[in-house]
Structure 1
Amino acid sequence: MKILIVGAGAIGGYFGGRLLEMEANVTFLVREKRQKQLKEHGLVVTSIHGDLHVSDPQTIVSGSHPEPYDVILVSTKSYHLDGAIESIRPYVGDKTMILPLLNGIAHLDALSEAFGSKKVIGGLCFIETTLDENGKVIQTSPVQDLIFGERNGERSERILQLQATFEGTKANFRLSEKIEQEMWQKYLFITPLSGITSLFRSPIGPIRDQAQGADTLKRLLHETVEIMTAIGAPLSEGAMDATWNRLNDIGDGMKSSLQRDMEKSLPTEGDHLFGFLLKKAADLQIAAPTLSAVYANVDIYDKMLHS
């Protein structure tokens, strides 16, 4: 299968590199600066699972070499989604599958509106990677999971073909028959985690250890579950208790990626993660004061960043 990966950053670069390691047909859709960097230095990945170096990986810039791809993997930040949609238009054919790895759920509607829901499959990933100043992809923890599937759970011919394409890599590619549920479950976890750590500008440990901090975290989780349940999210039975246990099991030093973005004076995905849920809550007249405070915090930050 011909695979187009939008960007060669921390996520796309990692999974693309693992696919190239087994000689998959991978092309990166990148900006000219990144294209030059990759031509000069290659794609370099440092990982506990084995370092890799792909000299001069195949790259294109938006608009060049228009032809359809079998799979387009989108792992941009949500605030770059509109640009990503326009950049991939020349590469979407009748049989193209679009595999998004964004956090949250709102991007499914945006991609479906642009290309039709049939072309958009479900996806998510769990990985901690970063891009250094030289463009090297550095994996900072052992987790490297990419989960995908038809949104209706069908084991279709095309999804089984994609599964076969992904087999044999050093990363964990997994086909799910409940991909939308898994996407919502991740959304349920990262909403309170990213919300509380960004609100208090602290890793999770000190927040859990402080009485009012722990109470705020619990209220944020309750509000998130209430909203998601009201809009019909396919959460598993016992999802709230399982998420609460997970929030208490993660290491004290854990920071969310949204919090790290704020520490680096980068834009956040506040609208995509928190704003989306608050709009749904407003439509259903559900009070969500804790989530509102979380959103206000990142929204004020983002506006000050651009002022």
Structure 2
Amino acid sequence: MRLAIVAAGAVGGYLAAHLIRAGVHDIALIARGANLKAIRDNGLTLTTGDTSFTVPVAHVTDDPATIGPVDAVVFAVKQTDTASAAEICRPLLARDTCVVPFQNGVESAERIESILGKRHACAGCCYVSVTIDKPGVIRQAGQFGRFLFAEADGSQSRRTEALRVALVDAGVEAPVPKDIDVELWTKFSFLVALSGLTAAGRSTIGEIRNDPVTSLVYRRAIEEAVSVARARGVQLPIDIVERHLDFTKTLPAEMRASQAFDLEAGKPLEVEWLSGAVSRLGAVAGVETPVNSTLYAVLKPFAKGRRN
């Protein structure tokens, strides 16, 4: 199977390292800048706890045209880069190439479809805590890593099964989701609260959950996202809000979402596809979303990065 990873950031690098180490597929990586140079010079390293491994990367480039058509594209970029990254995928597409997104939010399949066409767009989400430690080095926090995907309509196909087999053979957990929309909205309804409150509040999750005012707002942010999902026909578990709150209690007190770090660093934010999506999709569905709409309004001035 020929696979292209767009791009070799944290999530893409994690998958690339496992796939290349397995050595049974033709893997090409898209990277740029210092990351591209480091991978070319030193290979790709994945560190988990006290262990790490490095794989040589035979094909890493900033020009997808040098790769040519592949069987599947692992699409793992920030939502802020979706449009430009989808455009550069065109040389990678054969008639039946699947583009499988592992991104935050619930609109990736639609966004990819609008650029590359319905035939290529799939749906997916992942649960893995990874960061770029330095160019060419990915660091994983904890041991978990779970990847769920399907065709955009929720079905499974020969091409999604082929990608699943490739991931499983490489030691990556990739179960068949019963309902990909439930999986997407389950993650999303938690993430919008975590990302919105830790960013807008410049706070850790410990500070948020230990304060009666902010903890209530956090709960309301989850409830609004869940209400929007149900209004759209997504059958989330009846106890999903309590599940999210119970999980929140287990998080390290110092934890913040990546959006909070991006805000602090002056980088573009994914707020349009997080709190903004709850607000926008809620309006379409006739669901009021005052908390998420407010978080969106607070963060929107910083959506394109630091203002001069």
TM-score by length of 1: 0.92
Contact persistence 1:43–1:57 (CA under 8 A)? no
How big is the shift at 1:4?
A: 0.2
Q: CA deviation at 1:31?
A: 2.3
The answer to whether the 8 A contact 1:155-1:177 is kept is no
Tell me whether 224-233 or 270-279 shows the greater mean CA deviation: 224-233
Task: Give the Cα–Cα distance (whole angstroms) in 1 for the partners of residues 170 and 124 of structure 2.
Answer: 17
User: Matches of 1:57 and 1:138 in 2, distance apart?
Assistant: 21
Amino acid paired to 1:18: H
| Partners of 2:285 and 2:185 in 1: CA distance | 19
Alignment of structure 1 residues 246-265 onto 2, 5 Å: 246-265=247-266
Q: Which moved more, 1:82-91 or 1:111-120?
A: 111-120
Q: Could you tell me which amino acid in structure 1 is paired with residue 4 of structure 2?
A: L
Shift of 1:224: 1.9
Which runs of 5 or more residues in structure 2 are unaligned? none
Deviation at 1:144, TM superposition (A): 1.7
Instruction: Please report how far the alpha carbon of residue 223 of structure 1 lies from its aligned counterpart in structure 2 after TM superposition.
Output: 1.9
Separation of aligned partners in 1, 2:155 and 2:282: 31
CA contact 1:40–1:56 (8 Å) conserved in 2? no
Aligned to 1:215: 216
Q: Which residue of 1 aligns with 2:136?
A: 135
User: Is the 8 Å Cα contact of residues 227 and 280 (structure 1) preserved in structure 2?
Assistant: yes
Corresponding residue for residue 277 of structure 1: 278
Paired position in structure 2 for 1:72: 73
The Cα shift of 1:163 comes to 2.2
Q: 1:181 is matched by which residue type in structure 2?
A: V
Q: How does 1:138-287 map to 2 (within 5 A)?
A: 138-287=139-288
Contact conserved, 1:127 with 1:143, CA < 8 A, in 2? yes
Q: In the TM superposition, what whole-angstrom CA distance separates every residue of 1:214-273 from its partner, at most 9, and x where no partner exists?
A: 111122222222222223334233322322322333332221111122222221100111
The TM-score, its normalising length taken from structure 2, stands at 0.91
1:183-208, CA deviations, whole angstroms, 9 ceiling, x for partnerless residues? Answer: 11111110111112112211111211
Change in Cα spacing, 1:239 to 1:151, as seen in structure 2 (3 Å) is farther
SS at match of 2:134: coil
Aligned to 2:43: 42
Whole-Å separation in 1 of the counterparts to 2:96 and 2:45: 31
C-alpha deviation, 1:303, in angstroms: 5.5
CA distance in 2, matches of 1:211, 1:202: 14
Q: Please say which of residues 139-148 and 79-88 is displaced more in the overlay.
A: 139-148
Counterparts of 2:129 and 2:280, CA distance in 1 = 30
Which ranges of structure 1 fall in alignment gaps of 5 or more residues?
none
CA distance in 2, matches of 1:58, 1:304: 32
Percent sequence identity is 24
* Separation in 1, partners of 2:77, 2:128: 14
Measured on the aligned residues, the alpha-carbon RMSD in Å equals 2.1
SS at match of 1:194: helix
What is aligned with 1:11?
11
